[in-house]
Amino acid sequence: MNSSPIHSRATKPRTPKHKRPHTSIHPGVGAIPHKEGTSFRVWAPHAETVAVIGSFNEWEERGVDLISEEGGFWSVLVPEAKEGDHYKFRISRDGQTLIKVDPRARLIDPETGNGVIYKDSFDWGDEAWETPSLNEAVIYELHVGTFGGRKNGDTGTFREVIRRLPYLKDLGVNVIELMPPTEYPGETSWGYNPCHPFAVEATYGGPDELKFLIREAHRNGIAVLLDVVYNHFGPDNLDLWQFDGWSEDGMGGIYFYNDWRAETPWGHTRPDYGREEVRQYLRDNALMWIEEFHADGLRMDAVSYIRRSKGHDHHESVDLPEGWQVLQWINKDLKLHSHRTLSIAEDLGSNEALTAWVDDGGAGFDSQWDASFVHPLRAVLEGPDDDARDPGAMISAIIPSFAGDVFRRVIYSESHDEVANGKQRLVSEIDPENPASVWAQRRSLQAAGVVLTSPGVPMIFQGQEFLEDGWFDDHEALHWEKARLFRGIRLAYRDLIGLRRNLSGLTKGLTGQYVDVFHRNHEGKVLAWHRWHEGGPRDSTVIVLNLSHVSHDFYELVLPAEGEWKVRFNADWSGYSPDFGDADLTVIEARREETGYPAVTGGLQLPPYALVILSQD
């Protein structure tokens, strides 16, 4: 993490003008172009001198001096500097000279590593867009570098994601969540090692291409969430490290804690949440994605390492109250921008305070990833032994583990973390020898059905809708040929998503707050639950799950109401897979019977590993 060298490319010569510099009258931190030149402002409280060098002065070593301001900031207006020019800061302290990239650079040139003066002039057109409510949202998590496919090994781009927006629209998802799009070192990455937090990854296409993606997604009825990383930066190729030359005990300097609090699993680069300028840096970054890029919200990575020193699950972990305050400030300001702006935490501790209102002492997130859903779900479905499958464990996934709004949790069977780090795609865990086997198809489809019918905000990970196998690797593109090979499974996902969003108007209960697991048969491995919003026809929705390879010719259930219950989804349909049995399921008649107490009973056929969804007209 040394200071970065100067890199230059051939530029058109311009005669430098050595006029006496003066502070910039323009607000804002970073390099901001105006008609009379570019305003440069940077925070370097321990610097003795700061200058800006770049293509606008032919990388003259002297550069243009910035003038000291209050609070450790330095600024200058450079008339010669314009949009597209490359630049860096030259910082002097205690006899050392550091060449640093602007901490707020919006664009980094991939060939030279220089900051590039960027002007926000993107044409959003006549955008009329409203972010979907959480109870109607279905999230699709994707990694830009692998989602678009690789030609000759090249990293995927925003443009290739745009090309596949019609595919996502047809699938039915209405929210995409991009794994971090910020600049990272090297050619490939998951994105969770940001080295320039304000810059969009150039190999993906840079800031304008991200804006283009968001605009086109909105035109296709799809919201965009961006993954952000505030628990650490880097740690590699990190110009923020000892930015102005000051540090304590060899630690990171002004942007980081300089004691034991700096330590994270990813390096000693935890931001100093107690320092006003660092808090402002993080808050401004969060608001940039919403205000400038028109993103619909943020997913915040590993929040437990923002609020606690070693995460929530470590016995030596201690609270970082200033980290909690940063979360509150960011979330409160996101809501001030728009009450529909979404903020989602990855904390994995089922901490109700994360989704409590800021005014009530909570962190102010709208929802949080729920590990208490995915882990029991996968544990029930992965193993080969039906006798070991516990419907009770599945209930612990279906019923939210914390009180309140059920959509304050995001539920999933696959995510980037759950299909890597020693774990694989669900189909590969179910059948490592043949991930496309009928059993892998059936049980992975059951998992999708549970995700899309349980209370919570459902999320799927790129490719699971066409049985992508193995583990997630940022060097390997999605195998899009499987989307054609397993188009039936993809159709099943589309049908499930349509029911979850109530697109046919027949399953409103799946968007509602209420759930009742009304049937559990441990010996027979059958589970059934009821979802509803207000109740009644086209609202009350019943889901029946057979967790065994043993079929039931006539399985009797006590249903919520008498009359005809129509099958809205049958996972055994041969249209989803030629390997399925095509059980004849259309209508179940529920009759009221006097059996000591009033009961409405009905029966249906349950194929092996069945997933059946019912509602009334």
Q: Count Cα neighbours of 307 within 13 Å in the Cβ-side half-sphere.
A: 21
**617 is a catalytic site residue:** no
Pairing of strands 73-78, 67-68: antiparallel
Structure tokens, 564: 């005809």
Q: Out of 346, 382, 495, 539, pick the active-site residue.
A: 346
DSSP letter string, 167-189: HHHHHT--EEEE---EE-SSS--
Packed helices 321-337 and 276-291: angle between N→C axes, nearest 10 degrees: 30
Reduced DSSP (H G I as helix, E B as strand, rest coil) percent helix, strand, coil of the chain, to 5: 25, 25, 50
Catalytic residue among 102, 301, 465, 468: 301
- The answer to whether residue 227 is catalytic is no
The label of the residue with tokens 């491995």 reads 525
Per the omega criterion (within 30 degrees of 0), is the bond before 235 cis?
A: yes
What tokens were used for 348? 């994995």
Put residue 503 in one of left, alpha, beta given phi > 0 → left and psi -120 to 50 → alpha: alpha
Distance CA 603, CA 597 (A): 19
- As a whole number of angstroms, the distance between CA 66 and CA 51 comes to 5
CA atoms of 288 and 282, how far apart (whole Å): 10
Residue among 169, 177, 129, 130 at smallest CA distance from 367: 177
For tokens 């470590």, what's the residue?
314
Residue 41's beta-bridge partner residues? 30, 75
Query: How do 342-345 and 367-369 pair as beta strands?
Result: parallel
b/e code 306-325 from CB counts within 10 Å (16+ = b): bbbbebeeeeeeeebebbbb
Q: From CA 102, how far away is CA 475, in angstroms rounded?
A: 29
Q: Would you name the residues annotated as active-site residues? A: 301, 346
